[in-house]
Structure 1
Amino acid sequence: MKSTKTYQELLQENEELQLRLEEATDTIDAIRMGNIDGLIVQTDKGTQLYTLRNSDQTFRIFIEQMNEGAVTLNHDGVILYSNSRFADMICLPLEKVIGQPFFLFVMPEFKERWKTLMTAGWEDNVKDEIILAGNNIQLPVLMSLKTLMLEDGVSLSVVITDLSSQKEAQRILTRKNAELEHAQNIALHLNTTLESTVQQRTIELKQRTEELERNIIQKSDVEKQLRSNEEHLQLILETMAEGIGIFDKKGKMTYANPMARKILRLGKNELYNYKKEQHFKLDGKPLEIKEHPIAITLSSGSLLFDFEISIISESKEAAYISINAAPLKDTNGSIDGCIVTFMDVTHRRKDILQKDEFISIASHELKTPITSLKASLQFMNQMKEQPFSSVYVEMLNMANRSVDKVCDLVEDLLNATKMKEGQITLKKGSFSMYEAIEEIVPRIGTNTKQKVILSGNKSSIVFADRNKIEQVIVNFLNNAIKYAASSEEIMVSIEPLNNAIKVSVIDKGPGIPPNKLPHLFDRYFRVDFNSIQYSGLGLGLYISSQIIKKHGGDIGVESEPGKGSCFWFSIPV
């Protein structure tokens, strides 16, 4: 016969069950909030130890700085990882997000859409808009899903972009009211049927214990996933095009990715010490330590963007670096270091300097013929009563030459702009290369005492834009006359190649320094010999190279200081 428990025994048993239930609930909360490092759990297999570890702050800071929310899901849709941004978006603390099924944060009317979206996300990259439910908000978002293949298997990466933060949901309040009502019903039921309440609590305690065991397993899986994510992020850092460095609060570098080492010219085990390196401002003045962007961020906690400094390379040339810096703070809000990105902007800075230099040169080159033209016109105005005198004619010729010079400069500028924008057009036709050059030589020869000698295949026929090809040849000859004034003869040779014609202009002038040769066909580049500055915009060879490339040909130069130069091009016949 079943024994009947007394009322006092039932009350004592109920109190013990309530204590066990509260202890299990506190344990679950501690696990989710990361307040314990390990648990000993009694299972059917014996006593087992489960350890919990936190992710490294330095590793996670990059994901934490994203403007979008970011979570990683397993196949069951459980959140394995979430950045703080996502938790902020749904107004929940991070410990109430990680380990939860994602559909809990989806509005009921969008749960089916989310289920369909998540299913499709495991097959392909997908995007869709849904409404998330957070802490008293309804948040329209854009969900971007993509699978990640990591060492521990495939996971689903979700990037959540906030579309509107104006709508609020009452899901949490409703849930709390329901829990309160449920608790009141349980208390009422406990008062009326104590024995059945104890039995129900026993069942609930067992369910909570099972849930605790599942949470421990899930936490272990999350830790594995976090380690995989850390390896993935480390791979990203190692292959980034920007340099990344981390500094402690004393300004000592604690981490540098490969690109940072390359930009800062660091050895394998060498770390960057901005306090010992010599830096310069953009105007060339020394940069004091307190003015360095890293020092500014560590002292003030301010964000710095695109702060340019200059360093001197081993070749004694200035290199320019753009620095972005952001402070790292501890749990108390104190500055604990900073994270810095480095970008080599030497080419950008040199382009700016080159453009400024070009504007100065262009202004000077245009001013000279315009001044001459103005003087000629003023003189002609004084002699307008004697329009046929020899002086008047000479002034008229001088004015015409000045106008031609201005027109040539403007034409070069227009051609350079067209070629940069890819607007150059060719009017091709068949013509004799020998005859074309033969017609050019007399025009060039009238302006110099140097002798231009043409040799080569007289029957060479090409299919090309004759005017453009003649422009290239004239530029080669003018450069030879201008830069090789000591060369008594300038040779022009024509030789056939395989399905092509090669034209060379050879002088016996001073030659060109080897370090200048790679830049001769760059836009705005000019060569100065022995500190002598020659006129011109530095566009002639650049325009010539673009014309030859448009014809599908090649162009180049061979030179040896003291022996002369050979400029050549070849185009298909």
Structure 2
Amino acid sequence: MITTKTYDQLLKENESLQEQLEEATETIHAIRTGQVDAIVVQAPEGGHELYTLKTADQTYRVFIEKMNEGAITLNEKGVILYCNSMFASMVNMPLSKVVGKCFDYFIPDIHKEIYFDLFKNGWIEDSKSELGILSGDRLIPCQLSVTTLQLDEGTSLSLILTDLSFQKEVQQLLKLNNKRLEEINAELEISNHDLQQFASIASHDLQEPLRKILIFATMLRNKHLSDFSGDGLSYLDKIIGSSQRMRTMISDILTYSRLSTHINNFTLTNLSEIVGEVLEDYEILIQEKKANIIISDLPEIEVNRGQIKQVFQNLISNSIKFARKDKAPEIRISSQFVPVADSGPDAYLITVLDNGIGFDTSYTDRIFSLFERLNTKDKYEGSGIGLAITKKIIDKHNGSISARSKEGEGSSFMITLPARQN
């Protein structure tokens, strides 16, 4: 039965092999540079055997045979004096036929120049490079490390070949996946652009006939009121009310679609000033509802001014809209500094608390969804998009928003925003 490894398993296996390679390379380097005087090797029957480096040639070969990498010893003419069984296996030839050949026999023409430079420099200093090794009709990608080695018969050139086939396959897989992700992102960008264009055109085309419906319906109601009976007047009011709600919904859909753009203009902004502007805009409404709004000191952070203003507009208007009938609206807006570890910038927790009608906690995860309404449109106006817009704006600011509430006891919205945007 053939088992297929997952992508994560292949990555972990690749990391394990890389660690083994680094450990073997460090050991070989220590031997070659004389940093160790002996090697302790686990014996097949158990226990350990000690090999000194007094007979460097013999001990070197014993050690090399235990490696998972190809190992070769060359003379000054590039002739193979010795190779381990792993290299013979790599080139798919018996040891007897490998020894005595010039090593460049296994180098393809396209990589010969790299090899000759490596061979020349290897006698002077340790060198390494990537090239291909011929194994019949197959080309094996390898990392070739070259250094001099003092053997009994004199100075030779030692080559260690690490098969990079698995790593190259993983790299190719990653490259293909990255390319596919780029293609998907490009497709999403096009789709997103098309959706924005559609939303903009659709909203514009819908607003014009809707505007005429509202104008003529209002004219009929104001100038020809006597021509309508009780039912006719009621129907006309429903037309005007539905048209106004549709106009609000079209405007909110257009606002939501525009938030999909990746362009963000963050500037250092005082949130107290933004809330002050919102309160000025809602001055008449606040007076009519006798709302009491208490604002604590708010921080100066990097935000998109227009978008964050809309967040406070949505939350404050909701608190006024969903006020209890027996109590005047009371809204408290406060902030708290939230220090963050080295992993990220400091942040602020902004809380908007009201004493309104609240909502059932089972709806907490749904209130930020598009077109989600917890109350009928007959009792409370709105498109059901306001909190979805609010959440999308906070997401674009690399922040988070959550809500807590209890029916009849008000709601609180908690917004966490980074002090600075990266």
TM (norm. structure 1) is 0.31
Greater Rg over alpha carbons, structure: 1
TM (norm. structure 2) is 0.40
